[in-house]
Structure 1
Amino acid sequence: MYAPRIQDLLAREEKVFRIDATTVGVSDCQLMAEIVAARPVLSTERSVYKPAAGADIHHDSATRTIRALGQDVMAGIRNPPPPARGLSGAWPYASTSYLRRWLFASDPLPVSLLSKRGITRSDTLSRIVDHAVAAWPGSGPDGSSTALAELIRNASGTLERKQAIAMYRRATATLCDGVAALAGNALWLMGPAREQEEARADLPPVLWETLRLLPPAWMLYRKGGDAYTELHPEIRPEDNVALFPLLMHRHPDYWADPMEFRPERWAGVADPEKTPGFMPFGFDGARCWAKHLIVPLAERLLTVAFDNRLVIRSPRQDAEVPLRSLLSVRFEAEAGA
């Protein structure tokens, strides 16, 4: 059950259409590529690397964050997963919390609070935690911590530490929220336990098909300007542009049986991201910085869920898909004993 604004988008047949007085929507594959190539992505258009503490995030800082996150994910998934009861509850929230415990459990308490959902939903609590970490980031329970937390500890100067704190919060949230949304969407699309058991033997095609039909990153936003006006007559200099992989992934011009969940369409596809009409992580020059981590981590999360006989307790006929930055199915799940 999609939010009304998403449902309105899904009902559109045009590939270029006006959303409101200052926004144009695009789902045409070629035009989307041209728009992304027309100019470099702005720092304010990136969810993770937008300015923090009143200053831009420099390239070297962004690179350190990407490397640190990759190290933390590889180290985290080598550890035994937390007790499966943590997967019971409302998805994707339960799976998001589970991933954070799995990957970032070695961080000291002040740092671990940076990504707690109850904290991040309150601006006041977020500021209090930020100040506490800036004053004393601490160390892990056994003297160790994640590479991301070490970037906070080793920051030189107030500005660098504040930015490292912001990057920790954004990087952990973006990764865990994205993986949880992808895994939850896949669980829902796979259907009853019989179909899940058949699909788990080869999960990557399931996840690629999920990224096609229910892509968590369902929209890219570009601020307006002269760079786009010559690309299409509908786009004016003052118009912002919304790019919709969600619509492109469902269009019959690009896909056979586009509304059918068919993981087998990815069998034998060596590089799914080179498939025409498919943009799960963005275009060249503006791809998701953590794309190399998303599918493998979602596969591990689903494997743990299957090993512990996780079942969906919500009615199988329908589930809510609210209007959020990440497209994710909401449902209740319970791990087996």
Structure 2
Amino acid sequence: MTTATAPSHSIVFAPRIQDLLATTGKVFRIDPAKVGVADSRLMAEIVAARPVLSTERSVYKPAAGADIPHDSATRTIRALGQDAMAGIRTPPPPARAMAGPWPYAGTSYLRRWLFSTDPLPVSLLSKRGVTRSDALSRLVDRAVTVWPGSADQDGRTALAGLIHDADDPLERKQAVAMYRRATATLCDGVAALAGNALWLMGPDRDRPEARAGLTAVLWETLRLLPPAWMLYRNGGAAYAGLHPEIRPEDDVALFPLLMHRHRDYWADPLEFRPERWDGVADPERTPGFMPFGFDGARCWAKHLVVPLAERLLTAALDNRLVVHTPQPQAQVPLRSLLSVRFEARVGT
């Protein structure tokens, strides 16, 4: 199943995602111990049935052998918001850094934009070359725990400040883990969203009206290619009475990707139509739309994602970033973030 942008500009999903997209039911069994859900009402009931467990969150899962305290999580959210808003008010890095394979080039570019002022080795915490190696990651984590930067460090981000100001070794280890997770989650998600939008816009990205409606473009991209395309919940008695298909021992997978493409909620659901968001004051209140989760379980950085993606997309268009892929089809692999893979170069 592909997105109807143009016959020469399509998307090929990984086989397991294609199998999901071919599913006709809103509640279906994935395997003997897992149920998939694409029904808006049932999703809301499942999310409301119990609080999200710390182990079900990507950022706030336990670190250094202990749960992340609530006040520590709150400080991380505030610090990340402060750093992100300060970062997008600064001039973007040189455009040549956006060239290369996306979404990785977009992630590296955004990290450089927002967090390059942090001291070494803090700035290494979120480098892709480091995070891909468990041994390097552990080495950098230890180095930052011992030496988080000098007290008079200029330009340090608020997130890095949380590492420096930690009162004891456990708090510092957890601050290191939170820095790595928060920066990675934000930058990876924003780069995936901006890259997905670049691909879906196709040749229309150079038209003035497309530039004028980037916010609508991003909301429509979140509908067709939501980076957080699946929410996972461990099974339990709280879900068993919500639907006959769900047993107490079943884990539950919620699929915004499927709900966003269902004809019960959307007209022409496979078409990329940013104009469907014209005049919509609050897109998140649209029925059948769950780009950041439901009340009580929403993405902790949702207020940052669209503004940052719009800023990154604007920088890409200002510098005439061009999709440079030999094939007319882009691959979307099976990953936790749903992102189109393509090569890009900066126009001359």
Shift of 1:138: 1.2
1:129 pairs with 2:140? yes
Distance 1:274 1:195 in 2: 30
Shift of 1:122: 1.2
Shift of 1:118: 1.1
Aligned residues of 2:204 and 2:210 also touching (Cα < 8 A): no
1:178-200 Cα deviation digits (max 9, x unpaired): 00000000000001156554311
Aligned residues of 1:66 and 1:290 also touching (Cα < 8 A): yes
Closer, same or farther: CA 8–208 of 1 in aligned 2, 3 Å: same
Of the three residues 312, 323, 331, the one matched with 2:334 is 323
Distance 1:241 1:200 in 2: 39
Shift of 1:143: 2.4
The one-letter amino acid of 1:71's match is Q
> Displaced runs of 4+ in structure 1, greater than 6 A?
none
Unaligned runs of 5+ in 1: none
The one-letter amino acid of 1:161's match is R
1:273 pairs with 2:284? yes
Distance 1:285 1:194 in 2: 36
Distance 2:152 2:14 in 1: 43
Distance 2:151 2:338 in 1: 34
The RMSD of aligned alpha carbons is 1.3
Distance 2:285 2:347 in 1: 39
Distance 1:141 1:184 in 2: 37
1:138 pairs with 2:141? no
Shift of 1:139: 4.3
In structure 2, what is the equivalent of residue 202 of structure 1? 213
In structure 2, what is the equivalent of residue 66 of structure 1? 77
1:8 pairs with 2:19? yes
Distance 1:55 1:63 in 2: 17
Q: Secondary structure of the equivalent of 1:109? A: coil
1:96-120 Cα deviation digits (max 9, x unpaired): 0000000001101200110011111
Q: TM-score, normalised by structure 1?
A: 0.98
Distance 1:56 1:175 in 2: 21
Equivalent residues in 2 for 1:1-337 (5 A)? 1-139=12-150, 143-193=154-204, 197-315=208-326, 317-337=328-348
Shift of 1:60: 0.6
The one-letter amino acid of 2:172's match is R
Distance 1:141 1:309 in 2: 39
Aligned residues of 1:36 and 1:283 also touching (Cα < 8 A): yes
The one-letter amino acid of 1:38's match is A
Aligned residues of 1:69 and 1:171 also touching (Cα < 8 A): yes
Shift of 1:74: 1.1
1:154-211 Cα deviation digits (max 9, x unpaired): 0000100000000000000000000000000000000115655431111110000000
Aligned residues of 1:107 and 1:139 also touching (Cα < 8 A): no
Shift of 1:144: 2.6
Identical pairs, percent: 80
Q: TM-score, normalised by structure 2?
A: 0.95
Distance 1:139 1:121 in 2: 27
1:268-287 Cα deviation digits (max 9, x unpaired): 10000000000000000000
Shift of 1:257: 0.5
Q: Secondary structure of the equivalent of 2:330? A: coil
1:75-131 Cα deviation digits (max 9, x unpaired): 111111100000000000001000000000110120011001111111111110000
Aligned residues of 1:108 and 1:140 also touching (Cα < 8 A): no
Closer, same or farther: CA 319–141 of 1 in aligned 2, 3 Å: farther
Closer, same or farther: CA 146–219 of 1 in aligned 2, 3 Å: same
Q: Secondary structure of the equivalent of 2:109? A: helix
Distance 1:194 1:36 in 2: 37
